[in-house]
Structure 1
Amino acid sequence: MDQLVRLNGQTGGRDKIARTVQYASKFLWNQLQNKQSNNLLIEKLQILESTCSSFRKLLRFGRCADSLHSALAHLNYPDLVIRITLTLGKISNSLFLFADHVVWLSRTGLLKNVDSTKWVQISNKYWLLNVVMNLVRDFYEIKNILSNEKVIAYFKTEFLRKPLNIQLYLITIKKIIDVIQMRQDVFIDTLKNFCDFWIPLAGLQKVKLRPSAVGLLGTISSIAALIALLKPIAKLTPA
């Protein structure tokens, strides 16, 4: 209960809670629809999803400026790869949020003669770019971890040069799992971004996903983001 109160006291926490409910609702109503269940319950879940989406758009209003300012703060970060991925990721996130603001203003009627469908596509493109930058950073962090823990060297000397056997395979997998357990922040961030990667792709119609699949991916990524907020050890920094 204390953790829920602490989360609700943060703007980011409220956004992640609402996001979890939003995508969980999408997953549930599509599952119920497939089973031809109660239409009234399906309609209520769809309304809940839409309400959470609108609430999050209002909650994020103006955050595009914050994200752009955050990009400037990473211009002098010493590691080149992290500097580039963080800066480009923040800039693309700022553009995503700006497009999202236009969509929200259009749907509320405050902006007239706006092609909201076009702006939704623009927001999805910049969201996708942001997630790609985050994933590049995640893979870079994983490579560094595996190199530091000498897993890559072990893989080359023990795994590739010897005949394949189950015991050696299991030992290698265990080493990788042990490394992942030591760096929860990288694992959770990678999981979150991997799930998020498919959502804008589906929005851009580059892949075909059922609403339930989008809902499940969004729910998993939202829970991962909540864990990162609740447990400082699970939050990847700098972010």
Structure 2
Amino acid sequence: MEPWVRFSAQSQARERLLRAAQYGCALAGAALQRNGASAEVVARVRQLEAHLSLGRKLLRLGGSADALEAAKRAIHLSDTVLRFCLTLSHLNRAMYLACDNVLWAGKAGLAPAVDQEKWSQRSFRYYLFALIVNLSRDAYEIRALMEREAGGQRAKGAEAGRQQQQRRRAEAGLQQLGLRLQLELRLLLRVLRGNPPLLLDVLKNACDLFIPLDKLGLYRSSPAFVGLCGLASSVLSILTILHPWLKLKP
């Protein structure tokens, strides 16, 4: 009960709940339409989805300032790659949220002259850049952990000896390549299994990536798939709020 009380007290948590509901509606609307539901029912689900989206925009007002503060903190990280990736990610997120605030003002009637399509495209571009940087950071973390894990195995000697023996048995270059890929895959799975925060961050960013790709027309996906990806990433985000140890740090 205590984690849930702490969860519900955070505006970010409420925004994540609305996000999960929004993409759940998108998924439900696509399923209803595919199964031949009446146009009225589908329209109501789509309207609910739009209201949830507007509510999320309201909760994200002022989020740009938080993102800028996070970027300031990231500048002082000792690791050069992490410093670059996190600072750039937070800056892109700040721009994305700023565009989102403009969209909210337009939809709320405070700035009716706002070009919704232009600002929406601009917002999704910043969102896409932030996700690409986040995935780059994840790849860097994975590579560093894989090298550390491989180094530990070489120190023990047993695993390295088995790998060398297997390589000697390989007679052709293609076999050696296949063996190396197999060993790398095993190492990758071991690293991700041993680091749940990193695994969740990779899955969340990978799911989110399809949303701006679809909105920008770079990679078209079905509404059901986009809804499923958004719902999955929202659930993963909620997990990291309920259980802070699952959030990737820094």
- Once the two structures are superposed, the pairs formed by residues 1-239 of structure 1 within 5 Å of their partners are 2-150=2-150, 157=164, 163=170, 175-238=187-250
Deviates more, 1:143-152 or 1:119-128: 143-152
Deviates more, 1:155-164 or 1:31-40: 155-164
The RMSD of aligned alpha carbons is 2.7
Contact 1:201 1:207 in 2 (8 A): yes
CA distance in 2, matches of 1:49, 1:58: 14
Give aligned-pair identity as a percent: 32
CA distance in 2, matches of 1:225, 1:98: 21
Deviates more, 1:146-155 or 1:196-205: 146-155
CA distance in 2, matches of 1:194, 1:139: 12
Specify whether residues 204 and 168 from structure 1 end up closer, same or farther in structure 2 by C-alpha distance, changes over 3 A only: closer
Specify whether residues 81 and 203 from structure 1 end up closer, same or farther in structure 2 by C-alpha distance, changes over 3 A only: same
Deviation at 1:38, TM superposition (A): 4.1
Specify whether residues 232 and 160 from structure 1 end up closer, same or farther in structure 2 by C-alpha distance, changes over 3 A only: farther
CA distance in 1, matches of 2:197, 2:169: 33
Supply the AA of the counterpart residue of 2:191: V
| CA displacement, residues 130-152 of structure 1 (integer Å, 9 cap, x when unaligned) | 10110000000111111111189
Deviates more, 1:113-122 or 1:157-166: 157-166
Q: Which runs of 5+ in 2 are unaligned?
A: 155-159
Deviation at 1:167, TM superposition (A): 11
Q: Which has the larger radius of gyration?
A: 2
Specify whether residues 37 and 158 from structure 1 end up closer, same or farther in structure 2 by C-alpha distance, changes over 3 A only: farther
Contact 2:102 2:119 in 1 (8 A): yes
Contact 2:239 2:246 in 1 (8 A): yes
Supply the AA of the counterpart residue of 1:11: S
Specify whether residues 169 and 3 from structure 1 end up closer, same or farther in structure 2 by C-alpha distance, changes over 3 A only: same
Deviation at 1:14, TM superposition (A): 0.6
Deviation at 1:178, TM superposition (A): 3.1
